[in-house]
Structure 1
């Protein structure tokens, strides 16, 4: 929305921030900056993992120390609370999921990159669909289709008439529609909104301090820069938090599929 100050017009950044054309004329329509960043992130994580664990030492240092700290965090804060004895079996998947989501999020705070990959809805949707398929596969495999659905709709202790009329429809709606939808949208929406706010305050500072410096606009520009710095710190925290929450919910869904009665 245009804002007028001292006769100059400032236009706030909008949805064009997320509209990326192909990298060059004639390139495939899907070959855009977010796709390249996603691929670079995966390659970088593979390189870090190789450097950390290709030749592990008894006393961890450098990348190995970082890798082991990340492993312990995911194991103790995500896997064990929801998966119990099955935690170690699912650690490769959960650690990989947490690491790639976190790095893709952090791209939004890295100078020169400054775009969180997960602010494009396609990437969180793919993650959520993979988790959704795994959850249903485990539930059906371990308990059968009928047994898994029965455990969802008729929990122990709840009268069956009440469950049939009220609880069962809501639980089915949550399991097959709401849960995968919110799993993806929560990550996407936070990265989308955070990137938009950072771009707005950065644009305010640049416009009023560099593009159109005026006496009246100088305090606004300084405020924009200050807010951009503050919001960058807050956004880094949110980027970490969203990676943690997405992975935690994944562990919870897998745990519920393996042991639906709990």
Structure 2
């Protein structure tokens, strides 16, 4: 966002007027030369892995009966995922899925937070490719679990021919169930995360860059610019809540899909 502000100020000084943010603001150039693998989103993904690892290693390194503030923070996040997302949703077989759900939740959460952290200010998940990869992991995990427990034939049979449904209804229900399990679930899971992060960041750009542009204008516009900045600050807090909520929803739906794959109906 910092580069975008400098470009906006330069264009205002040259009399070009306000250039509204668009999808081009998400097409970031490589950090080092022309290497496509050194873009800011990739750097942020690697940074998130380092930050998460360092935090939880430090939080658990000197674990004590009376926890320190750092240990308490780490244990609180783990307990939330373990109890509220894994245990309550999946049931008695939850424990073996806690590492995956915990990793998924913390990874998405930190990468979402990057959108409002000064100097970084870019949510990684606003690039749809990252959301697709996470959804693909969940897609293969819950199908693998279902096939492993029930066998390929029974698992696919229960998907295509829902138990307890009149045979005539299969003409309509079977195609819908196939689409739901093999296309709709991974697509909605990824696009929901991507769309919220993309739209939120774009909205912040509108008010922050708009306020910057107004501050470069006439006196009347300068008086209005603080309101644009004020709305931008309010939206930043709102975006923080959305970022946390999207990490929770993605992990919750993953737990629900796993619970469905383990259900006796399959």
Offset from partner CA, 1:183-214 (integer Å, 9 cap, x none)? 111000000000000011000111112xx232
- Partner of 2:122, secondary structure, is coil
Q: Deviations over 1:142-183 (max 9, x none)?
A: 111120122223333221221x21111101111001110111
Judge which range, 245-254 or 152-161, deviates more: 152-161
Could you tell me how far 1:229 is from its partner in structure 2? 0.7
- Which of 31, 37, 48 aligns to 1:23? It is 31
Q: 1:243 aligns with which of 218, 243, 247?
A: 247
Partner of residue 117, structure 1:
124
Where in structure 2 are the equivalents of 1:37-186 lying within 5 Å? Answer: 37-162=44-169, 164-186=170-192
Distance 1:99 1:24 in 2: 28
- 95 and 46 in structure 1: CA distance in 2 versus 1, 3 angstrom threshold: same
The answer to whether the 8 A contact 1:52-1:63 is kept is yes
Taking the aligned partners of 2:25 and 2:84, their CA distance within structure 1 comes to 35
Residue equivalent to 1:258: 262
Q: Distance in 1 between matches of 2:264 and 2:199?
A: 35
Counterpart in the other structure of 2:11: none
Deviation digits for residues 107-138 of structure 1 (CA, Å, limit 9, x no counterpart): 00101110001111111111000111111111
Aligned length: 253
Q: What CA RMSD, in Å, does the superposition of the two structures yield over aligned residues?
A: 1.7
Q: Take 1:136 and 1:86, find their aligned partners in 2: how far apart are those partners?
A: 16
1:86 deviates by: 1.5
CA distance in 2, matches of 1:45, 1:70: 12
Q: Which runs of 4+ in 1 moved over 4 A?
A: none
Segments of 5+ residues of structure 1 without an aligned counterpart are 1-6
Following the alignment from structure 1 to structure 2, what is the Cα–Cα distance between the partners of residues 190 and 58? 40
Question: Structure 1 CA distance, aligned partners of 2:264 and 2:241?
Answer: 32
TM-score by length of 2: 0.91
241 and 260 in structure 1: CA distance in 2 versus 1, 3 angstrom threshold: farther
Q: Structure 1: how far apart are the matches of 2:243 and 2:201?
A: 11
